[in-house]
Structure 1
Amino acid sequence: MAGPFQTIPLGDGASADLYLLRYGKDGLLRSPAAEGAVEEQLAGVSDVFFFAHGWNNVFAQALDRYRNFAAGYIGQSAEFDIRHPGPGPYQPLLVGAVWPSTSFVMPWEQGPVIAGPTDPDGAASTEQEELLALATSEMDAAADRALVDAVDGRTAVDTATATELATILLRNLRATPDPDDGSAPPDVTGLLRIWAELGGGPRPEPSEAPARFGRVGSRGAGTPPDAASLMYDPRDILRIASVWQMKARAGVVGATGVAPLLESILRSDARLHLIGHSFGARVVLSALNASAAERSAHSMLLLQPAVNRWCLAPTVDGTGQPGGYHSVLGKVERPILTTFSSHDKPLTSVFHLAMRGRNLGEGQPETAAVGDWYRYGALGGYGPAGLDGQATTCEAVTPGQGHYPVGGTARVIAVKGGSKVDGEVPIPGHGGISNRFTWWALHDLTRGDLRADTTGS
């Protein structure tokens, strides 16, 4: 529809329009009338807030997230009497992207158990169908048939079949270097190792299970199984494939669909504020990275970003190349503020496994002593890397009791959301990103009365 999806009250009789723009998996805009209405309003607005949701958000969930965050931010403005610093009247415009992430709930969205339900006739079967549909959605007919034939109706596959599946998925979904950090994809052997780690290790077939796996098989107690008898849960490799799909899709949506809108906004006088959660952080980073606008965005808030922690670095360790979004540092007026949290299970336990590339070899930081999260870890799980002198790390700031160092020299401010502040964990999980701490962070980024002598370290 051409008009705003909703009008949100600001207080004192003022209001802000909220528009929702849909994008397809190819990144193309599906709401041209709504985008046209946004562009028509640009001459009369002072600020544009652009939101991009992340993993597992269908339309209703995305709308709820946007409304909840906007309402909290607006309510906090009234609570602390925060005034717009611009020379003219404050008239914000809210725009939310709705892009096809996924419609089903991943196991780590439900809790810490990565393996998921095991009932082949219940939730596990439904999940596998959804994962399979997602993994094959952009494959050619031959690859689709091979993948479906290998996993259809199975909750375990042998090593030979697992090798076939790994080969198909690598060839079709991750055949090129990762755009965030330039790392080459894993080889088949490496992917099988990742698959085993994600599922807690391959298990022997029931008829061959030794005592240490809970039963005595024909080999006798304690006898290790042959490699050929190991079984892999196909849902685990499909989960890895779905992370690849969503990461790639977020980049396409940003660079293809969102970037032209950002260019239109930046040709106006309105200040642009970008907020991205999870893979939505990759949407806004990709969009601004692709933008050819001469004017910079005013601010960028990345909430538990599902992007590589080296993506903003001038040089990625082991590659000699800049991170995929290094240029974005020069396209934002205020420092980029990003949260990371030890309580974010998918970004501290899963992301670096799913995104792990080829081993950099002996002598590199990617060793058992350091852990591959150093090289492949998520920005929202472990904070930024490779930004010496350009980044500062600080605790979350209590609203009304301090400010972030947005007036300092750092180009990136990393906020530790996993440490308690006033007895409360600011980022208690991957989805816990709309609260008084994150609203205050956005206030610090968007208003102009801040000092440099604040909480950075």
Structure 2
Amino acid sequence: MSRESVPGHDISYHLVCFDETGDERGRDSADVVSDARAGVTDVFFFIHGWNGDVPAARRQYGQWVRTMADCRAERAVAHRLPGGFTPLLVGLHWPSKAWGDEDVRSEEFVKAQALRLGGGAGRTAAVRTIVQAAQRHPCRMSAAVKEAYDYLESSVPDLPGEDRMAFDAEQLYRACLEDPALGGILSPLRILTFWKMKRRARVFGESGAARIARDVAQAAPAARIHLVGHSFGCITATAVANVVPAASLTLVQGAMSLWSFAERLPGEPGSGHFRGVLGRVPGPIIVTTSRHDHAIGRFYPLAARSGRQVDLDEYPKYGAIGSHGVQGTYAHGHQVGSPGDLVRGQVHNVDCSSVIRRIDGIAGAHNDICHPELARLLWRVVLSR
């Protein structure tokens, strides 16, 4: 069974796991579809971000659901809505462990990083060259290391081309030296895995996540589907909304381009990759931001721009919605404590810096997302029928 309990509440949620190609591991989705047929009114799909394994996903989803369940006044209002409120809660896990906990001096680390970049003898040898050099001279990039990085960039399959400039390991390395938290010749390796996981998030959204959402929608055609993503999970959630009818879309500290919904891309032809989602979601589209999110504010634009800032008016060309909100289309602006009216079918950029603020290592406050204020914001989305 896929059912997970929530401490302190008589509430449970389903945890459904998928592999790196978007195929389900096991048959837990059958339990979800079965429950969907039991007269549910609202289905919540929670989708975690990058660098998350199954235990981390279980902890995050348990905290999210518990924080929402603690909002007893909002729950009571939901149950008084016409038709009542019978929720189905589903957490989706996708393999997003882009930078593991292995000892960087070990062969285990070498093999793990090579596998995350596609595997094979050539990539393993290139990663080994980089790691061994980092042990000897962590602040110097030799010609051999640069060559190894060039090989990886050219050989790693399916690195996304959108929202990033050409990969230049030496330029990235020099840019990372400006911020001690990002420095060292292993930093371009971190960025390569970052891009690999970014693409995987979209592929998962278009494959496994979309399939289970579509199956649930067919099993419970009258139910409202709420998609809630964090970090790269925002890419997954938006990709699902692009193909499956969803009542609402909540993007928490999204690691996706601030121009994803733009009518026109800055300085380039065409529109944002997810422009078509606008108009498909009848409920509010919520986008949280925080200036304390270093993973989004520092690392994401560095990975996207290869160390060179490009200013277009007041917004960068390469940046994430978790820092700047959605740009290039009309969006309402709010503070988390007083968001005002949530207009159905429109984007709401909500500044959550007053709540998402607890610094935790290189990521800053990126994972500081379980707060009553955010839970109440999601409840407002649910109640805006």
Q: Considering only CA atoms, is the larger Rg found in Structure 1 or Structure 2?
A: 1
1:343 aligns with 2:342: no
Taking only the aligned residue pairs, the percentage that are identical comes to 26
- Structure 1's 427 and 314: CA in aligned 2 closer, same or farther, altered over 3 A? farther
CA offset at residue 201 of structure 1?
8.6
Partner of 1:208: none
Separation of aligned partners in 2, 1:143 and 1:333: 49
Structure 1 segment 1-80 matched on structure 2, within 5 A: 1=1, 4-6=3-5, 16-32=11-27, 34-44=28-38, 45-78=40-73
Structure 1 segment 281-320 matched on structure 2, within 5 A: 281-289=234-242, 291=243, 293=244, 296-320=245-269
C-alpha contact (below 8 Å) 1:351/1:377 kept by paired residues: yes
C-alpha contact (below 8 Å) 2:42/2:87 kept by paired residues: yes
User: Could you tell me which of 376, 382, 403 is aligned with 2:324?
Assistant: 382
1:435 aligns with 2:380: no
> Which sits farther off after the overlay, 328-337 or 437-446?
328-337
1:412 aligns with 2:365: no
Opposite residue 257 of structure 1, the aligned amino acid is G
- TM-score normalised by structure 1 residue count: 0.73
CA offset at residue 358 of structure 1?
10
C-alpha contact (below 8 Å) 1:19/1:95 kept by paired residues: yes
1:169 aligns with 2:152: yes
- TM-score normalised by structure 2 residue count: 0.85
C-alpha contact (below 8 Å) 1:52/1:97 kept by paired residues: yes
CA offset at residue 80 of structure 1?
7.6
Q: Which runs of 4+ in 1 moved over 4 A?
A: 7-10, 103-106, 174-177
1:138-169 Cα distance to aligned partner (Å, 9 max, x none) = 43535324413422433135431232123123
Separation of aligned partners in 2, 1:130 and 1:319: 39
Separation of aligned partners in 2, 1:56 and 1:153: 24
Separation of aligned partners in 1, 2:175 and 2:230: 26
1:23-49 Cα distance to aligned partner (Å, 9 max, x none) = 1111211132x1011112212211111
1:346-398 Cα distance to aligned partner (Å, 9 max, x none) = 11111111122697xxxxx925x979x711111102222211xx21111112x
1:71-120 Cα distance to aligned partner (Å, 9 max, x none) = 121221337843336432321111001111118668xxxxxxxxxxxxxx
- Structure 1's 305 and 94: CA in aligned 2 closer, same or farther, altered over 3 A? same
- Structure 1's 323 and 396: CA in aligned 2 closer, same or farther, altered over 3 A? same
Separation of aligned partners in 1, 2:103 and 2:20: 26
> Which sits farther off after the overlay, 303-312 or 84-93?
84-93
User: Could you tell me which of 230, 249, 273 is aligned with 1:277?
Assistant: 230
Structure 1 segment 80-95 matched on structure 2, within 5 A: 81-84=76-79, 86-95=81-90
Q: Any unmatched runs of 5+ in structure 1?
A: 107-121, 203-231, 360-364, 450-457
Partner of 1:362: none
1:244 aligns with 2:195: yes
- Count of aligned pairs between the two proteins: 370
Opposite residue 260 of structure 1, the aligned amino acid is R
Opposite residue 307 of structure 1, the aligned amino acid is M
1:148 aligns with 2:143: no
Opposite residue 351 of structure 2, the aligned amino acid is K
User: Could you tell me which of 330, 333, 336 is aligned with 1:393?
Assistant: 333
- Structure 1's 446 and 427: CA in aligned 2 closer, same or farther, altered over 3 A? farther
Partner SS for 2:77: coil
Separation of aligned partners in 2, 1:79 and 1:91: 14
1:197-230 Cα distance to aligned partner (Å, 9 max, x none) = 113399xxxxxxxxxxxxxxxxxxxxxxxxxxxx
Partner of 1:125: 105
Q: What RMSD, in angstroms, separates the aligned Cα atoms of the two structures?
A: 3.0
1:411-430 Cα distance to aligned partner (Å, 9 max, x none) = 21001112x3xxxx344411
1:277-313 Cα distance to aligned partner (Å, 9 max, x none) = 1111112112222x2x4xx311111110111111111
Partner SS for 1:49: strand
